[in-house]
Amino acid sequence: MTRVIPADAAECARVLVEAARDRRTVRISGSGTKAYIGDVTQTDIEVGTSRLGGVLDHEPADLTVTVGAGMRVVDLAAILARAGQFLPLDPPHGNEATIGGMIAANSNGFWRARYGAVRDLLIGTRIALADGTIARAGGRVVKNVAGYDLDKLLVGSFGTLGVIVEATFKVIPLPAASDGLVAGFTRSADAFATADAVVRGASRVEACVVERSEGTAWRLAVQTRGSAATVRRSIEDARRELAARQGEPRDLGDDLGSMRELPARATEGALVRVSLPLAATPAFAETAARLESLAALVADAASGIVRVHLLGDDDDLIRDAEALLLAARVVGGTGRIERRAEHLASRLSTWPTRPNGDFLMRRIKEAFDPAGILEPGRAAFV
Amino acid sequence: MRGLIALLGSAKVLGAHHDLLLYEYDGAVDTATPDAVVLPESTADVAALARFCHEHAVPIVPRGAGTGLSGGAIPVEGGVVVSFARMARIVEIDVPNLRAVVQPGVINLHLSTAVAPEGLYFVPDPSSQKACTLGGNVAENSGGPHTLAYGVTTNHVTGIEVVLSDGTVVRLGGKAVEDEGYDLVGAFVGSEGTLGLVTEITVKLTPLPEDKRTLMAAFPTMDEASETVSAIIAAGIVPSAMEMMDQLAIQAVEAAVHAGYPLDAGGILLLEVDGPRDGLDDARERIERICRDHLASEVRVATSALERDRLWAGRKGAFAAMGRLSPDYYVQDGVIPRTRLPDILRLVKDAGVRHRLRVANVFHAGDGNLHPLILFDSRLGPDELERAKAAGLEILTACVEAGGSITGEHGVGMEKNCYMPLQFQPTDLAAMRRVKDAFDPDGLMNPGKIFPTPSRCREFAFASTVR
């Protein structure tokens, strides 16, 4: 395999058009943190984005920032913080993930219900395409409906349409105050009822997550940021809801960081990730908790994204993983096997079922990459 | 005609000349008469219609309430206009999942009214929300004053049912926040009816804010008002709305709506903060101080819901109020980086002077989304509209040169498709074209919109090479 690290968009486009001409397959790699997603095979070329970095434009008063796709999310956070701002995205692999990888994998954290997901904050991109051209989608202003919103197609495209070389995001001022709490429950119903009350309450928390790990205990973590007055209010409201259900609160440590990084830890067994209608989350979690191979469960109670880590005998955990995906579908949700131990890959594909509209997805893929060189096997939906 | 009636029944098909005339215009300035109008009552009707049109290679133009401001619903290449007036049912209000499922003909405000008893609302609130439909909002990716903090339509749609131009029905997304695979819902929203016909929409419902504070601040000139907008952002405050109006707009609004705006102000800002009650007064005080630091002659805080509604009535009724000043207006929708407001506003003024037309400004200052209303009088001859369009083009060119966009929320339609090359390179447009061809390979869905067309854009291409 040849590894190429293009210095700019033009070089990247050149690499792609030559690969297309020679029918050589291409993998695209940022920090490589999410290489486990998909049913990938060895490619002829790997395109690294590490030289496509740096802040290209940041006018703080416009609340927008344009960066190279190879920049790490943490490095951007540090630069924005100096201007009193932040990009409100908290993807897993937080210390390593690049901007491009976060977009391509639609990688979100717990802040999405409050601030939006990658799709909501991304307002522009430049992409190198397989025909050697460079296309710009969206723009650098916060509102723009000129033409199709191609940015949306790139979020979660896993590199199958082109190489993202540059991205523009909305950013927001850093809140002045922050606080949080975490509480244990013996019954999942209490944890989720509390979470639900917090999510629907007036005080708009930043993260509200229910976790179950070793033992039988459930934990609820709540984080809030804003002005001192709104933070105080959020915490008061959350404490009141906790007290109503005998939850014993303590101060929040790095609990949310640890919950967010479940995908990074799940190197063994299988990690199922589902996206559910919000109200279906508690029952799904109950179902998962009864599974023999359950190792950990993290449910974003504000958005309905649930991850379940399964460990144990191969046959058991494959059966359990399939049961979870089915349970998600039954309630109108969808899911994937986000990660699995290498030896399970042949038995558990990332996307065992096809999403609605897959024929349109395949037509789009074909239009952007007629030679089929980009990320073969990565995304089963095309 | 006969084929359509045989297919759908005469009650769903209009073909008489006097009926068709009612469908030849929308909220913009261009017109074209359809060959027929169809009023489907179900997804099955729409699919049958699409199959029929596909078979006969007839263009299809979807239409909501016809309030669009870029000619999106105008059958510029003839064909069938599909009115969704009879598919106007709220199918489901799903409080536990914070979703509503609606048919495309549901009026924007009716949804928020219907879910208000549950303490919920649908966030996007275009000024036409009393009339415009959610199908139209999806097509145009509509915004409104409160999108600064809460986003536009695309941020509030999680699922759609679509009839493609060959009659295929496909459901994309659902009630969950995301689906597997490409985000086709995201690609579809804002596609202006050029990719397919939306027959059902699943939208997010948002808990109503606990409380709000609404302020009106009057400034000697637009410069101070613009600087105030930047200063508020710089102070780390993101209001839910920051709307600006210039003197001419204030005069029109006061004559029509009596919102209580000061007639002697050079510009006013309408500001709103919302959220948990705690902290709202603090934010209001900080905003008030910033306004006074920027020479605001008056800062008025709404002390009741009635006063708030009155302040907002002026803003929401502003376009309609232009009738007090001029028989016709041509509204533009350019976007600029917020920090460029003062110089672009000066340029807007100059463009008006150069073309001997008055320009009123009513716009979303927080987003940098301008709405210059170029006033003209078509009774004085066709030259008036031509001059208005020329002034509009100068303004849009300046917006693009400032790093902005030719449209923030009204769409490209047939009004600005010739201007797309101002903002996009041929490679950018080619990428969009690939998506169009994937959804609508025969090009029957709302032709003549978004993409420059050789026939209609020749003149413009010539003008731009001369320039």
Structure confidence by residue, pLDDT tens digits, A326-353: 999 999 999 999 999 999 999 999 998 8
Which candidate from A62, A227, A275 shows the least CB-CB separation from B339?
A: A62
Contact at CB, B180 and A153, closer than 8 angstroms: no
3-state secondary structure of B162: strand
Q: Once rounded to an integer, what is the mean pLDDT over residues A84-102?
A: 97
Do B174 and A277 contact (CB within 8 A), yes or no?
A: yes
Residue B100 sits in the same domain as residue B140: yes
Do A179 and A224 contact (CB within 8 A), yes or no?
A: yes
Q: Which residue of B has its CA nearest to A362?
A: B438
Quickly count: other Cβ atoms within 10 Å of residue A249's Cβ: 17
Contact at CB, A356 and B335, closer than 8 angstroms: no
Do A226 and B237 contact (CB within 8 A), yes or no?
A: no
**How many angstroms away from the CA of A149 is the closest CA of chain B?**
5
Res. A66: pLDDT tops 60: yes
Looking at residue A103, its amino acid is I
| Domain tally, chain B | 4
pLDDT score recorded for residue B467: 37
Contact at CB, B177 and A279, closer than 8 angstroms: no
Q: How far apart are CA B195 and CA B190, in angstroms?
A: 10
Is residue B455 in a domain?
no
Residue B201 sits in the same domain as residue B99: yes
Residue B176 sits in the same domain as residue B244: no
Domain ranges of chain A: 2-173, 177-252, 261-344
Largest CA distance in chain A: 66
pLDDT score recorded for residue A73: 98
Q: Which residues of B touch A149 (CB under 8 A)?
A: 141, 154, 186-187, 189-190
Query: Average pLDDT over chain B, rounded to whole?
Result: 95
Taking the CA atoms of residue B274, residue B278, residue B283 and residue B286 in that order, the dihedral angle to the nearest 10 degrees is 160
pLDDT tier at B2, thresholds 50, 70, 90 = confident
Contact at CB, B182 and A336, closer than 8 angstroms: no
Fold of A177-252: Alpha-Beta Plaits (3.30.70)
* Contacts across the A-B interface (CB distance below 8 Å): 261
**How many angstroms away from the CA of B378 is the closest CA of chain A?**
28
pLDDT score recorded for residue A270: 98
Which candidate from A149, A174, A355 shows the least CB-CB separation from B154?
A: A149
Give which of A142, A196, A334 to mutate to test B binding, by max B Cβ within 10 Å: A142
pLDDT digit string, tens, across residues B47-79 = 999 999 999 999 999 999 999 999 999 999 999
pLDDT digit string, tens, across residues B307-347 = 999 999 999 999 999 999 999 999 999 999 999 999 999 99
In sequence order, the β-bridge partners of residue B160 are B172, B201
Q: How many helices (H) and strands (E) does chain B have?
A: 17, 18
3-state secondary structure of A24: coil
CATH number for A2-173: choose from 3.30.465.10, 3.30.210.10, 3.40.718.10, 2.60.40.10: 3.30.465.10
Residue B21 sits in the same domain as residue B104: no
Q: Can you say whether residue A147 is alpha, beta or left, with left for phi > 0 and alpha for psi between -120 and 50 degrees?
A: left
Which candidate from A117, A200, A226 shows the least CB-CB separation from B207?
A: A200
Contact at CB, A153 and B435, closer than 8 angstroms: yes
In sequence order, the β-bridge partners of residue B388 are none
Do A341 and B142 contact (CB within 8 A), yes or no?
A: no
CATH number for A261-344: choose from 3.40.50.1980, 3.40.1190.20, 3.30.70.100, 3.30.1330.40: 3.30.70.100
CATH number at residue B72: 3.30.43.10
Q: How far apart are CA A49 and CA A164, in angstroms?
A: 9
Res. B466: pLDDT tops 50: no
Query: What b-and-e string marks burial along A51-79, b requiring 16 or more CB atoms within 10 Å of the CB?
Result: ebbeebebbbebbbbbbbbbbbbeebbeb
Q: How far apart are CA A25 and CA A375, in angstroms?
A: 7
Which candidate from B175, B233, B277 shows the least CB-CB separation from A277?
A: B175
The CA distances from residue A340 to A266, A284, A336, B250, B257, in Å, are 8, 21, 11, 63, 63
Q: Which residues of B touch A142 (CB under 8 A)?
A: 335, 367-368
Residue at which a domain ends, from B83, B108, B127: B83
Burial class of residue A216 in the structure, from the number of CB atoms within 10 Å of its CB (0-12 exposed, 13-18 middle, 19+ buried): exposed
Q: Which residues of A touch B210 (CB under 8 A)?
A: 202
Angle B367-B368-B371 from CA coordinates, rounded to 5°: 110
Q: Which residues of A touch B412 (CB under 8 A)?
A: 145-147
Q: Once rounded to an integer, what is the mean pLDDT over residues A278-298?
A: 96
- Beta-sheet pairing, A45-48 with A2-4: parallel
Q: How far apart are CA B173 and CA B168, in angstroms?
A: 16
Contact at CB, B424 and A153, closer than 8 angstroms: no
Sign of CA dihedral B372, B242, A148, A169: positive
Tell me whether domains A177-252 and A261-344 share a fold: yes
Res. B462: pLDDT tops 60: no
Q: Which residues of A touch B428 (CB under 8 A)?
A: 135-137, 147
Structure tokens at A347: 């038995």
Looking at residue B111, its amino acid is L
Contact at CB, B186 and A60, closer than 8 angstroms: no
**First-to-last C-alpha distance (Å) of chain B:** 46
Burial class of residue A187 in the structure, from the number of CB atoms within 10 Å of its CB (0-12 exposed, 13-18 middle, 19+ buried): middle
Domain range holding B391? 329-360+374-408
Q: How far apart are CA B432 and CA B428, in angstroms?
A: 7
Quickly count: other Cβ atoms within 10 Å of residue B313's Cβ: 16
Contact at CB, B184 and A360, closer than 8 angstroms: yes
Count of alpha carbons within 13 angstroms of residue A301, beta-carbon side: 33
Residue B200 sits in the same domain as residue B307: no
Contact at CB, B335 and A144, closer than 8 angstroms: yes
Which candidate from A134, A277, A280 shows the least CB-CB separation from B427?
A: A134
pLDDT score recorded for residue B455: 84
